[in-house]
Structure 1
Amino acid sequence: MLQNWTETLANNRKAGEALGKHNPQLLTAFRALNQAQGATGTLDAKTRELIALAVAVTTRCDGCIAAHADAARKAGVTEAELSEALATAIALNAGAAYVYSLRAMDALSAGQA
């Protein structure tokens, strides 16, 4: 195991208490945002968690991975389903690197007529 994800999730929740103590409105708004996602019922919980994990990987958020892996497990996500979602995240990151490489090339040549 690369990391103790259960511990990461618990540590983040405990650390969040201090932030909530000093910024209760921020914490309330953050919780409301998380509760609001999926409120329409258009996507099922499994699909939302697969998307959340793919986004968590692309944004490199360990806390997000811990929280959404826990929720994905509860929603019944399989390793095969997660693997396919993560393949999309990997491809997207490669695509983003390609597009930003084009931007870097453009920036280097800027001003050269």
Structure 2
Amino acid sequence: MYRKSEGFFLIELLLSFSALLLVSLFLIPDLIFLRDQARQTQIEKEAYQLLYEELKEKISVGGPFNNYSLDKRGTRFNITWYDRHEIGKKEVCVQVEGTKFSEGKVCELLE
């Protein structure tokens, strides 16, 4: 007699599990890469934000041009002012340290 079964056979379960495993083997490295890229973009965004906040403060308020460091979530941002004698202007640079993603430096002139 033929009996209608509502369940799965063992071979169907094994095939679906192996297909899921193969798909995850290809997608997990991409997800890790995307997470690292997102973190690097966030760090660069914070560096530019600090740079423009520093420029805005010096343009509107003035004051001394002091060098200092900030720590945000394990990342150190060093804000440094330079005299550009050849063009007669000041330059501010934000250097990123303490991260594996980007050890970069962004600079802008004070207009």
Both structures adopt the same fold (TM-score exceeding 0.5): no
TM-score (normalizing by structure 1): 0.31
Please identify the structure whose Cα radius of gyration is greater: 2
Higher relative contact order (CA 8 A, sep 6+): 1
Q: Which has the higher strand share?
A: 2
